[in-house]
């Protein structure tokens, strides 16, 4: 037997991956397919991961980012595509989980040739992967890819107008959680600490402000904090101070992995609900939050607005219909919290169990009858 093939140039530390250890990767979680896509002439190096097609084609964004190396890109694409399976399943949508990452700096390396090559790569999956925009890619980039493949999001006219669907979903999750945790039907006067004022965080602040919430915000980009102060009467704090903010709700809308051993003890909020993906540094931090009496709304439920939007576009793509559809996150969150209270299981465990039940049922329906 030959020795395991080690990809030249991959780091030798614990995060590195040999080709033969792919199936043991900590983020692998039984992915159906992981593809390495390369087009030298177009300057494209990308990974496409399809976690599950049990419920339907894998749907998920294309992230373009200057990853340190392939190992970092692989860990990211695996974690994110799994998250997409969970978002679609918890919302009972007919999609699976997929994600792609392009290795490169979008400001420097993104060219029409690269986008065409990515479109051709998506086409080769024959509809098993539907590509959407994400960090480093835009609706305009999808339009270029659409000349090569029809398996893209945002294909309708109305969908070309960017709508803050993720922020709208997070707002609805916060409203459901506030009703559950604080036994009140509005958020007026509640203090919400929002970390990150980008595509999700800023419109979320606007929605919260319109409903009378008080805002404490942080962003590493001072111009964004200043804008929130001026436009939304927000109080801004330095980036690291957001964990100490006197707030009822903490809403992480910047990076993943922010809830850890150092930050959880500092939180004043009794509720955590935000738009960032993979907010828990490790799975055990869900229990750490609960031990402090903090209710944690699963990130993949709160931030599932994008996949609901995609589904709704195929039914009725008017903005009012899309926002009404995304608002389902409120009822789904409420039902998870009710089941959590009834069973004593934490909300994340309840949501994970619902996802597992739906995936198992879908796989059972697909399994050929035994001979």
> Which listed residue (52, 100, 175, 218) binds ligand NAD by CB under 6 A?
218
H/E stretch holding 38: strand 33-39
> Which listed residue (198, 237, 281, 321) binds ligand NAD by CB under 6 A?
198
> Which listed residue (200, 259, 308, 332) binds ligand NAD by CB under 6 A?
200
Contacting residues for 342 by C-beta, under 8 A, at least 6 apart: none
Q: At its nearest, how many Å lie between ligand NAD and the CB of residue 166?
A: 4
**Closer Cβ to ligand NAD, 148 or 300, answer by number:** 300
φ/ψ of 264, rounded to 5, equals: -60, -45
Strand bridging mode 44-52 / 33-39: antiparallel
Site track for ligand NAD across 12-51, x = CB under 6 A: ----------------------------------------
- What residues from 61 to 100 belong to the interface with ligand NAD (CB under 6 A)? none
> Which listed residue (137, 149, 195, 236) binds ligand NAD by CB under 6 A?
195
Strand partners, 44: 39
Please choose, out of 69-77, 95-103, 218-226, 290-298, the segment that lies near ligand NAD by the rule CB under 6 A: 218-226
Per-residue b or e along 351-365, where b marks 16 or more CB atoms closer than 10 Å to that residue's CB: bbebbeebbeebeee
126 φψ region: left (φ > 0), alpha (ψ -120 to 50), beta (else): left
Please choose, out of 92-100, 151-159, 174-182, 273-281, the segment that lies near ligand NAD by the rule CB under 6 A: 273-281
Is 99 designated active site?
yes
Q: At its nearest, how many Å lie between ligand NAD and the CB of residue 275?
A: 4
Please choose, out of 214-222, 260-268, 284-292, 335-343, the segment that lies near ligand NAD by the rule CB under 6 A: 214-222
Contact status: 172 vs ligand NAD (CB under 6 A): no
CA separation for the pair 173, 302 (Å, rounded): 5
H/E stretch holding 272: strand 271-272
Q: At its nearest, how many Å lie between ligand NAD and the CB of residue 60?
A: 10
- Measure Cα distances from 24 to 20, 27, 49, 52, 61 in Å: 9, 8, 15, 17, 25
Strand bridging mode 44-52 / 96-103: antiparallel
- What residues from 284 to 303 belong to the interface with ligand NAD (CB under 6 A)? 303
* Number of neighbours of residue 12 by Cβ within 10 angstroms: 7
Six-digit token string for 142:
């999808």
Size of the site for ligand NAD (CB under 6 A): 24
> Which listed residue (52, 53, 166, 172) binds ligand NAD by CB under 6 A?
166
233 φψ region: left (φ > 0), alpha (ψ -120 to 50), beta (else): left
Q: Which of 99, 110, 160, 268 is catalytic?
A: 99
Answer whether 26's CB lies under 8 Å from 80's CB. no
Tell me which residues are annotated as active site.
Answer: 99
Interface ranges with ligand NAD (CB under 6 A): 135, 166, 195-201, 218-221, 224, 239, 253-256, 275-277, 303, 306
């Amino acid at each position: 037997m030959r020795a395991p093939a080690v990809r030249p140039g991959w780091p030798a530390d614990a995060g590195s991956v040999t080709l033969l250890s792919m199936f043991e990767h900590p983020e692998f979680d039984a992915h159906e397919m992981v593809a390495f896509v390369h087009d030298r002439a177009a300057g494209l190096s990308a990974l496409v991961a399809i976690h599950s097609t049990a419920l339907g084609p894998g749907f998920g964004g294309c992230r373009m980012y200057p990853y340190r190396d392939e190992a970092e890109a692989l860990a990211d694409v695996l974690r994110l595509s799994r998250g997409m399976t969970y978002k679609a399943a918890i919302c009972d949508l007919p999609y699976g989980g997929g994600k792609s990452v392009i290795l490169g700096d979008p400001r420097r390396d993104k060219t029409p040739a690269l986008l065409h090559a990515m479109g051709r790569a998506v086409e080769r999956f024959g509809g098993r992967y539907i590509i959407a925009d994400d960090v480093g890619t835009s609706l305009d980039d999808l339009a270029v890819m659409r000349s090569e493949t029809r398996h893209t999001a945002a294909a309708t006219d109305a969908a070309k107008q960017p709508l803050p669907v993720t922020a709208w979903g997070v707002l609805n999750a916060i409203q459901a959680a506030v009703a559950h945790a604080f036994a009140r039907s509005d958020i007026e006067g509640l203090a919400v600490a929002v970390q990150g004022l980008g595509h999700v965080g800023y419109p979320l602040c606007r929605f919260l402000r319109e409903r009378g919430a008080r805002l404490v915000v942080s962003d590493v980009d001072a111009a964004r904090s200043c804008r929130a102060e001026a436009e939304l009467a927000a109080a801004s704090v330095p980036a690291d101070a957001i964990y100490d903010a006197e707030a009822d709700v903490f809403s992480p809308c910047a990076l993943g992995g922010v809830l850890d051993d150092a930050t959880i003890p500092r939180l004043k909020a009794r509720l955590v609900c935000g738009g960032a993906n993979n907010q828990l540094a490790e799975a055990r931090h869900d229990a750490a939050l609960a031990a402090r009496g903090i209710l944690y709304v699963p990130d993949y439920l709160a931030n599932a607005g994008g996949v609901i939007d995609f589904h709704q576009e195929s039914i009725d793509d008017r903005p009012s219909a899309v926002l009404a559809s995304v608002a389902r996150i409120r009822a789904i969150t409420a039902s998870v919290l009710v089941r959590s209270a009834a069973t004593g299981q934490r909300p994340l465990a309840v949501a994970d169990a619902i996802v597992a039940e739906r995936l198992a049922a879908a796989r059972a329906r697909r399994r050929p009858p035994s001979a």
